[in-house]
Amino acid sequence: MSYINISGTFYYLCGVLDGCSRYIVNWDLRESMTEADIEIILQAAKERYPEVKPRIISDNGPQFIAKDFKDFKEFIRISGMTHVRTSP
- The CATH number of residue 54's host domain is 3.30.420.10
The structural domain count of the chain equals 1
State pTM to two decimals.
Answer: 0.69
Residue type, 80: G
User: pLDDT, tens digit, for every residue of 22-47?
Assistant: 899 999 999 998 878 888 998 899 89
**C-alpha span between 17 and 48 (Å, rounded):** 13
Q: Greatest CA span in the chain, whole angstroms?
A: 40
Predicted pLDDT at 39: 84
Q: How far is CA 18 from CA 15, 24, 37, 64, 73, in A?
A: 10, 6, 19, 19, 20
Q: Exposed, middle or buried, 45 (CB in 10 Å: 0-12/13-18/19+)?
A: buried
Domain interval for residue 8 = 2-85
Split the chain (88 residues) into runs of 10 and give each run's mean pLDDT: 88 89 92 86 89 78 64 78 76
